[in-house]
Structure 1
């Protein structure tokens, strides 16, 4: 994980999005705004964009025994003790999104096929009523991501928290392939 988080340079970032959401469209290209600001099921949007069913290749799924310094350990303060990361891919294996999530273990305890299904689809199938709060949008450059995505270009990223019954239960960070915006 350190290789990933030490391998990029942020070119632009917007925090506290609830304060400046009206101005955000000035900075984000039209094609990218659909991906970054969408409020519905992202995996459904993704399936529509690429005309293909996405699946996940997990690269890590573990209990957090020590605190990983990230967002001032915000996630640990609300009991997010499980860490999961993986690639959302097309059927062909092409990598579309790299996602990391910190969550409460009970969130996914009763969800079938969680190891092979993107979280968005898991939540849709479980019929949970969710609220999403977008925390940060970033534009970055990364040789590591360019190699993984097999595509040169800027990488857009977003961070958000999902709430259920007014309680935060999962923090998600996503990095989007530059190829996605060319398919819109």
Structure 2
């Protein structure tokens, strides 16, 4: 059957194939240090800005390569179930977070209400943290899930073997969900954070 005119066909995004995953309760309590070191837990389970943390760790500005901005309408997009609280229709944004010298450090996908995405991401090439800080937007980062898993696409893109650690969280602004973000970090960061476990 043909798709109706105006139907949005979404492209894929790079979710991990989980070997292990945990929800909000585990995010609150933390993991045993033999599973995930304290430094990595601060990065993954903390409510601070990952782009700011990456800049502090590497000593280089964190830059963004936007690889996708796709309207997905009301599609669930195989995203974490928290997507249901982000009003639609939605836009999905995919980026690489890298150092100014070009080292890829993380991959991120975010889902935004289409009618507000331009308001919050005026300059699409800036990290979300930089865009929202420029607007002085007050946010609450609600980390809801953590993942340990594989992705051949990310292994190739990072130039690092998996498995990888990732997470998803909601940004809340004035008590309303602003965006859902899914991030995966490169093992390259062990150069700064030490061994993962």
Q: Structure 2 length normalisation: TM-score? A: 0.81
The structural deviation recorded for 1:106 is 4.4
Question: What SS class does the counterpart of residue 52 from structure 1 fall into?
Answer: coil
Match of 1:21 in 2: 28
Equivalenced residues, count: 180
Counterparts of 2:39 and 2:19 in 1: how far apart (Å)?
18
* RMSD of aligned residue pairs (Cα, Å): 2.2
Counterparts of 1:110 and 1:69 in 2: how far apart (Å)?
25
Cα 1:71–1:113 change in 2 (3 A) is closer
Q: Deviations over 1:1-22 (max 9, x none)?
A: 54734xx43122101x236622
Unaligned runs of 5+ in 1: none
Cα 1:53–1:113 change in 2 (3 A) is farther
Cα 1:126–1:152 change in 2 (3 A) is same
The structural deviation recorded for 1:123 is 1.0
Alignment map for 1:10-49 (pairs within 5 Å) = 10-15=18-23, 17-18=24-25, 21-26=28-33, 27-49=35-57
Unaligned runs of 5+ in 2: 1-10
Larger radius of gyration: 2
Counterparts of 2:120 and 2:171 in 1: how far apart (Å)?
16
Q: Deviations over 1:93-112 (max 9, x none)?
A: 22111100001234443357
Q: Deviations over 1:76-126 (max 9, x none)?
A: 553141110010111122211110000123444335752210111111111
Larger helix share, 1 or 2:
1
Alignment map for 1:1-184 (pairs within 5 Å) = 1-2=11-12, 4-5=14-15, 8-15=16-23, 17-18=24-25, 21-26=28-33, 27-65=35-73, 67=75, 68-72=77-81, 74-80=82-88, 81-111=90-120, 114-184=123-193
Counterparts of 1:43 and 1:3 in 2: how far apart (Å)?
20
Counterparts of 2:25 and 2:187 in 1: how far apart (Å)?
26
